[in-house]
Amino acid sequence: MTSAAGTEADIDRRNVSDAWGVVVLGAGAVWPLISAAGRDGRPEGVLLAVLAVAGGYAAGRMSGALLPVAAPCAGALAGLGLAVAVPHVAPGPQFTSPLGGAGAVAALLALATGGACCAAWATPVPALRFGLRALAAGIAVAGAAVGSAAGCAASAAVLLCSLGAGRMRQRGAGIAGLALVAVLVTGAVWAVAGNVLPAGLSSALEGPLTTHRVLLWRDALRLAHRNAALGVGPGRFGELSGSATDALAPDGMPHSAPLQQAAELGPVGGLLLVAAFCWLLYALWRSPRSTPVALTAGAALTALAAIAAVGDALSFTAVSAGAGLLAGLATARPWAAGGPAG
C-alpha cells in the first residue's frame, strides 16, 4: 500500500511540473506575439526557440524512458560532434571574449558533458561508467582544442559537479545551490549593465567582457527602462541600439539573454525566461531519476544559463533543443524502473 501511495504521489508531482511547463512554454509563445503586434516586431526567433525546447523535452522524455543510458550518450556525442565539426555555429561575427569561438559552442559542450555524465550515472556497469566519464573529460579537452575557453571551463565544472552529486543524499539543497549560481551570474550582468559596480571592479570586468559587449548591455537596459510595457518588440534590438549599429559587423543582439528578453519583450519577457529556468529546476527536483542524474543535468543547465547571461547561446536552435533534450532525459521514468514511462 505504501509503495502504491508513493507512486501515486510521485505521479501527481510530475503532473504538476508538466502542467507548469505547458503554461510557461505556452506563455513564452503567446507573449512575443503580443509584443510583436504592438511594436511591429519579428517573433519568429523566439517562437522557434520555444518550439525547440518543447520538442527537445518531449524527445528526451520518450528516449530517456526507452534508453536511459544510450540516449544521453548519443546526445552527448551529437553535441560534441556539432561543436567540433562546426566550430562556428553562430552566423555572423564571432565574439571571442569571453566565450571562445561562440557562446553556442560553449553551451553545446556543457550540455554534451551533462549528457555523458547522466549516462554514466544511469549505467550499473563500472567499466562503462568509467568510459562515459572519460568521454565527459574528453569533451572538456575538446573545448580547449576548438578555442572555447568558456566551453572547456563549463564542461569541467559540470563534470566536477556530477562527481560531487554522488555524495549528496538530498537533491533540494543542490538544486537551490544551482539556482543561486544562476541568480548571482545574472545579477552581476545586470550590475555591469547598470554601471552600479565600484569603478575598479567594473574596469576589471570590462576587460575580459570587452567594451563593446558592455555597451550593448547598457543599451539593452536603457531600452528596457524606456519600454517597460511591451519592450521594443522581438528582433528589434539591432535597429534601436546605437552600439549595435556602430559595430563593424553588427549581428543585432545584445549578447545576453536576460537583457535581450527585457529589452525586446519587456519585464514580462524577462520573467518568462526566469520562469522557464525555474520550471526546469523544479522538474529535476521532482524527477524519478536518481539524485546524481538530476543534479548533473541541473549543473549543465545552470552552466548554460551562465553562458547565456553573458553571450548569445540561446539564439541558436541547436542549443535550445539540446537544453530541452537533456532536461527531458533527466526527468524520464525508465520503463525498467516500472510504472508508466515518460
For 202, half-sphere exposure in the C-beta direction (CA atoms, 13 angstrom radius) is: 14
**Which ranges of 227-286 would DSSP assign to H, the alpha helix?**
237-240, 242-246, 257-285
Residue 341: per-residue pLDDT: 47
| Domain residue ranges of the chain, discontinuous segments joined by + | 2-337
Rounded Cα gap, residues 77 and 288, in angstroms = 25
Residue 200: per-residue pLDDT: 78
Rounded Cα gap, residues 186 and 192, in angstroms = 10
Rounded Cα gap, residues 222 and 165, in angstroms = 40
Catalogue the E-assigned strands of the chain: none
Q: What is the mean pLDDT of each successive set of 10 residues along the chain, which is 342 residues long?
A: 51 77 95 88 92 96 95 96 70 42 84 97 96 97 89 96 91 95 95 85 79 89 89 86 61 86 93 96 94 97 96 90 97 71 48
Report how far apart, in Å, the C-alpha atoms of 91 and of each of 165, 269, 278, 315, 339 are: 36, 24, 30, 10, 45
| Nearest residue to 308 (alpha-carbon basis) of 287, 323, 292 | 323
Residue 246: per-residue pLDDT: 60
Asked whether 146 and 100 are in contact (CB, 8 A), the reply is: yes
pTM above 0.75, yes or no: yes
